[in-house]
Structure 1
Amino acid sequence: MKSLYHLMILVVLLGPVKFNECKTTDARQNTVRRFPEGFLFGTATASYQVEGAWNVDGKAENIWDHLTHTHPCDIKDCSNGDIANDSYNQYKRDVEMMRELGLDFYRFSLSWTRILPTSFVDKINEAGVNYYNNLIDEMLKYNIQPMVTLYHWDMPQKLQDLGGWNNPHIVDWYGDYARTVFELFGDRVKNWITMNEPREICYQGYGDVTMAPRLNIKGVADYMCAKNLLLAHARAYHIYNDEFRETQNGTIGITISAGFSEPASESEEDKVAAEEAALFGWGIYAQPIFSETGDFPSILKEKVAAKSAEQGFLRSRLPEFTPEEVEYVRGTSDFFGLNHYSSGYTFRNESVLGIFESPSSDDDLGAGSYVLEEWETSASSWLKVVPWGFYKLLVKIKDDYNNPPVFITENGFSTLGGLEDDGRISYYRKYLDAMLDAIAEGCDVRVYTAWSLMDNFEWMQGYTERFGLYEVDYEDPARTRTPRKSAFVYKEIVRSRALDWSYQPDTDVMTIDDGH
């Protein structure tokens, strides 16, 4: 799922703003750029978005099942993931699509309640385990490596009833789940992602109402979620590191969503606001893991504590890590998994005073953001095409966190459907070009993952926004998958290991390269 970086866009007239020249130029588009030796390409999906079979073969209810069944029209088109792409039954076609594209790997997520229907390890669902075994084995048959996400937003409803990420016992429950899947699949899975997009889980699902479970407890539940989620991530990392790494010889990390916050002007106030926006938006999750000191960012702790005191709270709404917990979380990722889609401008002046709900993390930050109307847009209101932001973000990660290995685990563009998707092609080319610029600056980017392999259930937007390289016909019971023009272009990028702006695909037939 995409990072809703501009879920709330403040369109403000600020007078002159600093424009950034896009790294991609017309001259560049006449060249062919090569990707580094050993660079890997893949695509991604997530369990609830594609699998369907929501109550089949012993699977139990998760928070998205619960939301879409109890409040169906909270979803834009009143849809759900009950059938979705029917990947539970059509996994062989999914692998065939991976073969058509020539992918090095495929990133997918596991459904907690398909494997552990009681949410706990007292019962392992054999049918669910068989499904994932079949998918993994089918991929490996064709030398396509699995990259597996343990948690992509589908909390068991039973655990949500117990508080979900706000219950500190979730650290144990999640750790038990992680150990189970390492035991079940770790002999073949060599790349693990513990969590997908903590910000969307906590800020949107616990602080706001734009993701399940839609708690809407701003400035409290989202911060509690952040601490417990980071501890649970660390628990999974340590379990893998201590019990499985030596025999399974894999890697494990976390995926964080981030856009780039560009100062709206050269003023010191806007520069500080942009840095703080990054720390509140994604640094709250990255800093405890990737910084040398660990812990939540100091400015975050200071601002939330000060606001909490003003508001009459007896202690900060941001839970503290103990010194032992700081060390437990620090360094617990073999790579920086990055989901990136868009960027924008950040500012701070009197116009933002008092406009945010209080308490809330937005109010704690006290900064505004906006995008430019003239920027190319997608079918998603929040997703503007800003490739220079991708470049700057990658350089920032390099500079701030001692140049960790970066896996781009999602990047993509939405349309309203149709096989001719030149906007998506343009987006991929511009963002890959910006990524190559960052690599040339020394950024250690090793993996690129297109979101997504095929159209899927896009959470609160249902099936109204399409991100797939393959179009899915949801009117057809067979859920027919058809390659878009972008699929042919991406296939050529993967095949040639090069970015060639002049390439024009023959879209008559998508074939499998037997040499893969």
Structure 2
Amino acid sequence: MEAKNSLFMLLLLVIICNGNAQLYLSGGPKSNYTFPKDFLFGVSTAAAQIEGAWNEDGKSESIWDHLVHNNPNFVKDHSNADVAADSYHLYKRDVEMIRELGVDIYRFSVSWPRVLPTGFANEVNPLGIQYYRNLIDELVKYNITPMVTIYHWDLPQKLQDIGGWTNAHIVDYYTDYANVLFKNFADKVKYWITFNEPMQTCLEGYGGTYRAPALNRHGIAEYLCTHNLLKAHANVYHLFDKQYRPLYGGKIGMSLDSNWAEPKTNSTKDIEAARLYLTTHLGWYAHPVYSTEGNYPPELIKLVGQKSQKQNYSRSRLPEFTPSEVDFIRGTADFFGLNHYTTYLLSMADKEVGAIPSHANDVGIIRVQDPNWPSKSSSDWLKVVPFGFRRLLQYITKTYNNIPIIVTENGYADFSGVDDKARVSYYGHYLNALLHAIHVDKSNVHGYFAWSLMDNFEWDDGYVSRFGLYLVDFKSPNKTRTAKHSAKLYSSVVATRGLPADYDPADFTAFSSAPILVSTMLPLLALYRLL
């Protein structure tokens, strides 16, 4: 009898632990809080992913056009973005969808090669300017606030031919480009983002081969790219601040991508690995702009310098900012744009990591994901870990002096279909975590943008992965858009400023029929505190 009682108690404990694990994973119990009245709800897109019309009306070739046209095997389904969702011709339908959702603000990007086909400001394409003016006017007509991303990965190929972001003169070329946009649109655009996910641009596009231009110059090109990009960001911020803000008002920042870093175990080494990951990845771009001290994170400077010396380089592969450049870059943002999707487990490497030299090798940490974390996503990396979202928001608030945060991207990928239960569940869990972040943790979050308004060309995934709130029938002549169930959920949250009544924070069945087990040591310790 005693043995049976012990077994019963053990089973009961497993059931209780699993229930609490689900609540832990979701970021907390269901929140009865609501989003503030002035909280911004929006949706995001990018020109290269939705516009199509890749060579119409004077637009020149972008680095993504060049990459996929010359390397069709780069994309999973061998597709390209020549037509995509055809938003160049269907922008009025896009605005109609935004109105249906009831959101306050629409974040879209401008295509540099559409506005400046040569890459330089000596030739401004009037048809490109007119397209964006039409889109902005259509938004303003319905009281939807435009948020413009100046650069979302589609550099003119003509500039890439002369070095792209590794050419120091790109700072001036980019400033000239931004000035053209400010001159034409600053009277109606009140939110600007200089760069979307610069780490993807530099680390994956110049250091690696995951993004255009896929240079594969590890350990060199990503650092040169970053150095020029941060200077360009600061240049444009100061241009806006001095010449356009006094006339029209408005705010300007940048959108950085970051996963949350959870230690793989509760060991001192793994805790240090998680901290180091945030410092040398998110901090690589955030520290120069948002920290009190400015400059690259001291640990990144030290690590790259030491590795460079061991590899017999005459100087660090990480370029140095002068003291005046540090001052010029520091504080050049009115808000912290955050793109977040998932969480990783971090540990210290016990041997050389990746290519030598490379940023990964310089830092020397390993990231993995817990196989028990739920996901049925079409993107293998997109595990559903809402507690990581909450923790990251708290980390940014504490680390970067309570800077206002706008979540400029958050979303979920599936394979297609209107009945997108997994995406509905994802948004429920992440918005629940966001409410806890705002009201319990006092994270300074001012806005949230769902990625994405509609299905699009998802870079190397082509049209296999779908992130949209609206289904796009890419085979139809009119690229028919249809609201998914997730669009209805999001519009409900926007209208009520709260979660739906039937949301269950312990329900992860949309992702997996198997029990949700949290198998890492730190989550188990947190569960222990809950019990």
Verify same fold: TM over 0.5. yes
Question: Contact 1:21–1:388 at 8 Å: present in 2 too?
Answer: no
Question: Residue 115 of structure 1 aligns with which residue?
Answer: 115
Question: Residue 482 of structure 1 aligns with which residue?
Answer: 482
Superposition pairs of residues 439-454 of structure 1, within 5 angstroms: 439-440=438-439, 441-454=441-454
Note closer, same or farther for the CA distance 1:26–1:321 as it changes in structure 2 (3 Å cut): closer
Superposition pairs of residues 35-46 of structure 1, within 5 angstroms: 35-46=35-46
Question: Residue 148 of structure 1 aligns with which residue?
Answer: 148
Question: Residue 512 of structure 1 aligns with which residue?
Answer: none
Question: Contact 1:204–1:211 at 8 Å: present in 2 too?
Answer: yes
Cα offsets for 1:64-105 (capped at 9, x unmatched): 111111112211111111100100000000000001101101
Cα offsets for 1:238-272 (capped at 9, x unmatched): 10001100111000000000011111122221121
Question: Residue 370 of structure 1 aligns with which residue?
Answer: 368
| Cα distance between partner residues in 1 of 2:456 and 2:28 | 36
Q: State which drifts further: 138-147 or 371-380.
A: 371-380
Per-residue deviation at 1:22?
Answer: 4.8
| Cα distance between partner residues in 2 of 1:81 and 1:283 | 32
| Cα distance between partner residues in 2 of 1:172 and 1:217 | 24
1:347 alignment partner, SS class: strand
| Cα distance between partner residues in 2 of 1:252 and 1:458 | 26
| Cα distance between partner residues in 2 of 1:402 and 1:493 | 29
Question: Residue 28 of structure 1 aligns with which residue?
Answer: 29
Superposition pairs of residues 268-283 of structure 1, within 5 angstroms: 268-283=268-283
Per-residue deviation at 1:501?
Answer: 4.4
The reply on whether 1:85 has 2:64 as its aligned counterpart is no
Superposition pairs of residues 481-500 of structure 1, within 5 angstroms: 481-500=481-500
| Cα distance between partner residues in 1 of 2:225 and 2:24 | 37
Per-residue deviation at 1:151?
Answer: 0.1
Question: Residue 56 of structure 1 aligns with which residue?
Answer: 56
Question: Residue 382 of structure 1 aligns with which residue?
Answer: 381
Note closer, same or farther for the CA distance 1:425–1:302 as it changes in structure 2 (3 Å cut): same
| Cα distance between partner residues in 2 of 1:20 and 1:271 | 21
The reply on whether 1:403 has 2:398 as its aligned counterpart is no
Q: Which amino acid is the alignment partner of residue 302 of structure 1?
A: K
Report the number of matched residues. 483
Per-residue deviation at 1:25?
Answer: 6.2
Question: Residue 182 of structure 1 aligns with which residue?
Answer: 182
Question: Residue 194 of structure 2 aligns with which residue?
Answer: 194
| Cα distance between partner residues in 2 of 1:167 and 1:423 | 43
> Which sections of structure 2, spanning at least 5 residues, go unmatched?
1-19, 505-531
| Cα distance between partner residues in 2 of 1:299 and 1:479 | 49
| Cα distance between partner residues in 2 of 1:330 and 1:207 | 25
Cα offsets for 1:35-61 (capped at 9, x unmatched): 112111010100010000011011111
Q: Which amino acid is the alignment partner of residue 432 of structure 2?
A: D
| Cα distance between partner residues in 2 of 1:101 and 1:209 | 36
Per-residue deviation at 1:332?
Answer: 0.2
Question: Residue 223 of structure 2 aligns with which residue?
Answer: 223
| Cα distance between partner residues in 2 of 1:302 and 1:339 | 27
| Cα distance between partner residues in 2 of 1:229 and 1:461 | 26
The reply on whether 1:463 has 2:463 as its aligned counterpart is yes
Q: Which amino acid is the alignment partner of residue 301 of structure 2?
A: K
Q: TM-score, normalised by structure 1?
A: 0.92
Question: Residue 434 of structure 2 aligns with which residue?
Answer: 435
Counting aligned pairs with the same residue, the percent is 50
Per-residue deviation at 1:136?
Answer: 0.5
| Cα distance between partner residues in 2 of 1:24 and 1:437 | 13
Question: Contact 1:148–1:192 at 8 Å: present in 2 too?
Answer: yes
Note closer, same or farther for the CA distance 1:167–1:425 as it changes in structure 2 (3 Å cut): same
The reply on whether 1:209 has 2:209 as its aligned counterpart is yes
Superposition pairs of residues 303-318 of structure 1, within 5 angstroms: 303-318=303-318
Per-residue deviation at 1:479?
Answer: 0.4
Per-residue deviation at 1:438?
Answer: 1.2
1:90 alignment partner, SS class: helix
2:87 alignment partner, SS class: coil
Q: Which amino acid is the alignment partner of residue 28 of structure 1?
A: P
Superposition pairs of residues 258-337 of structure 1, within 5 angstroms: 258-337=258-337
Question: Residue 424 of structure 2 aligns with which residue?
Answer: 425
1:446 alignment partner, SS class: strand
Question: Contact 2:43–2:451 at 8 Å: present in 1 too?
Answer: yes
Question: Contact 1:261–1:274 at 8 Å: present in 2 too?
Answer: yes
| Cα distance between partner residues in 2 of 1:27 and 1:210 | 35
Question: Contact 2:263–2:345 at 8 Å: present in 1 too?
Answer: yes
Q: Which amino acid is the alignment partner of residue 407 of structure 1?
A: I
Question: Residue 507 of structure 1 aligns with which residue?
Answer: none
Per-residue deviation at 1:209?
Answer: 0.3
CA root-mean-square deviation: 1.5
Per-residue deviation at 1:278?
Answer: 1.1
Q: Which amino acid is the alignment partner of residue 343 of structure 1?
A: T
Q: Which amino acid is the alignment partner of residue 119 of structure 1?
A: G
Superposition pairs of residues 342-361 of structure 1, within 5 angstroms: 342-350=342-350, 353-361=351-359
Per-residue deviation at 1:492?
Answer: 0.5
| Cα distance between partner residues in 1 of 2:176 and 2:336 | 24
Q: Which amino acid is the alignment partner of residue 363 of structure 1?
A: N
2:81 alignment partner, SS class: coil
Q: Which amino acid is the alignment partner of residue 464 of structure 1?
A: V
Per-residue deviation at 1:355?
Answer: 3.9
1:393 alignment partner, SS class: helix
| Cα distance between partner residues in 2 of 1:447 and 1:315 | 42
| Cα distance between partner residues in 2 of 1:26 and 1:447 | 19
| Cα distance between partner residues in 1 of 2:326 and 2:246 | 25
Q: Which amino acid is the alignment partner of residue 342 of structure 1?
A: T
> Which sections of structure 1, spanning at least 5 residues, go unmatched?
1-18, 505-516
Note closer, same or farther for the CA distance 1:25–1:201 as it changes in structure 2 (3 Å cut): closer
Question: Contact 1:259–1:344 at 8 Å: present in 2 too?
Answer: yes
Note closer, same or farther for the CA distance 1:396–1:457 as it changes in structure 2 (3 Å cut): same
Per-residue deviation at 1:20?
Answer: 7.5
Note closer, same or farther for the CA distance 1:503–1:282 as it changes in structure 2 (3 Å cut): closer
Superposition pairs of residues 157-176 of structure 1, within 5 angstroms: 157-176=157-176
Q: Which amino acid is the alignment partner of residue 393 of structure 2?
A: L
| Cα distance between partner residues in 1 of 2:48 and 2:26 | 39
| Cα distance between partner residues in 1 of 2:111 and 2:330 | 27
Question: Contact 1:49–1:459 at 8 Å: present in 2 too?
Answer: yes
Higher Cα Rg: structure 1 or 2? 2
Runs (4+) of structure 1 exceeding 3 A deviation are: 19-29
Per-residue deviation at 1:349?
Answer: 4.6
| Cα distance between partner residues in 1 of 2:336 and 2:169 | 26
Per-residue deviation at 1:380?
Answer: 0.4
Question: Contact 1:22–1:387 at 8 Å: present in 2 too?
Answer: no
Question: Contact 2:41–2:448 at 8 Å: present in 1 too?
Answer: yes
| Cα distance between partner residues in 1 of 2:388 and 2:193 | 24
| Cα distance between partner residues in 2 of 1:285 and 1:173 | 21
Q: Which amino acid is the alignment partner of residue 370 of structure 1?
A: V
Per-residue deviation at 1:395?
Answer: 0.6
Superposition pairs of residues 228-267 of structure 1, within 5 angstroms: 228-267=228-267
| Cα distance between partner residues in 2 of 1:503 and 1:481 | 27
| Cα distance between partner residues in 2 of 1:322 and 1:20 | 49
Note closer, same or farther for the CA distance 1:308–1:21 as it changes in structure 2 (3 Å cut): farther
Question: Contact 1:24–1:433 at 8 Å: present in 2 too?
Answer: no
Question: Contact 1:67–1:213 at 8 Å: present in 2 too?
Answer: yes
Cα offsets for 1:280-299 (capped at 9, x unmatched): 21110000000000000000
Question: Contact 2:208–2:216 at 8 Å: present in 1 too?
Answer: yes
